[in-house]
Amino acid sequence: MSGHSKWANIKRKKGVNDRIKANVFAKMSHLITIAVIEGGGIIDPVNNVKLRLAIDKARSSNMPKENIKRAIEKGFGPNKIMLKEVIYEGFGPYGIFLLILSTTDNSNRTTSEIRNFLEKNSGKLGTQGSVSYLFKKCAFVSFMKAEVNEEEVFKIGEQLEAFDINEDESHFFVFFPFDHFGLLKTHLNNIKYDLAEIDYLPTTPVKLDSDKERSVLEMIEALEGLDDVQRVYHNLG
């Protein structure tokens, strides 16, 4: 009986993992397609910075080449789909502010889903400009410590006019002005980076006790699990 239960648990876990992977690939596809659309149909990553970064992110998630190719094709020509990027502003529990980045082909559906989710989780959807002024739009790039040394990171940071450089056990993080995003490749000098993307940093971070913080992070994780939601930025310190 216990063996049967173990097999059932393995199958259930595999099913969940497969759904998570499929959802990640769908989100990556949307990012790639949006990059092509916003880039005016330019499909050469060398001449489309947003597309290059979207492809890099997809590859880091082990997205197959064929999926990437199909996502690019959906952004131009006869296979083009009507997809757009929308940023929603909202309020979570305990004074938490939210910027919700989404990609959608039906903004009415996405708005309704996000509004319902927030209301069920002690939050509410805000109006345009209600919380965005409390975030600073910037860019960041991360490097694995096994691939680069501190001196190289600080040199790149200086060239990008970085305003903050942080680290954890395995990575360096360089935060720099959004206007310099397109110059990133120029200053890397073939140094391998782990991730590069647009970020929104809170100007007024909020500290919560451990239980409330865990509750908010679980809510944000669930919100990011919605099909149309790409990323949730918040002011949890």
2-79 against 83-237: fold identical: no
In CATH, the number for domain 83-237 is 3.30.70.980
pLDDT score at 13: 35
Question: Is 182:51 a contact under the CB 8 Å cutoff?
Answer: no
Q: Cα separations (Å) of 13 from 16, 20, 59, 223?
A: 5, 11, 24, 21
DSSP letters, 172-215, are EEEEEEGGGGGGHHHHHTT---SEEEEEEEESS-B---HHHHHH
The answer for residues whose C-beta is within 8 angstroms of residue 80's C-beta and 6 or more apart is 37, 74
Mean pLDDT to the nearest integer, 184-193? 81
pLDDT score at 4: 41
Coil vs helix vs strand at 164: strand
Question: Is 226:98 a contact under the CB 8 Å cutoff?
Answer: no
**Minimum mean pLDDT range among 13-22, 76-85, 120-129, 202-211:** 13-22
More confident residue, 159 or 184: 159
- Locate the domains of the chain by residue range: 2-79, 83-237
pLDDT score at 184: 83
Given 3.30.413.10, 3.40.50.880, 1.10.10.200, 3.90.25.10, which CATH number is that of 2-79? 1.10.10.200
- Confidence band, pLDDT 50/70/90 cuts, at residue 143: very high
- How many Cα atoms occupy the beta-carbon half-sphere of 4 within 13 Å? 1
In the block, tokens 């990323």 appear at 231
Report d(CA 168, CA 149) in Å as an integer.
13
pTM of the entire predicted model: 0.76
Mean pLDDT value across the chain: 86
DSSP letters, 75-109, are TSGGG----EEEEEEEE-GGG-EEEEEEEES-HHH
pLDDT score at 22: 53
Report d(CA 58, CA 129) in Å as an integer.
31
**Minimum mean pLDDT range among 7-21, 59-73, 115-129, 139-153:** 7-21
**Does residue 219 register a pLDDT over 80?**
yes
Q: Over 107-124, what HEC string results? A: HHHHHHHHHHHHHHCCCE
In the block, tokens 């001449």 appear at 47
Looking at residue 127, its amino acid is T
Within a 10 A sphere around the Cβ of 103, how many other Cβ atoms? 20
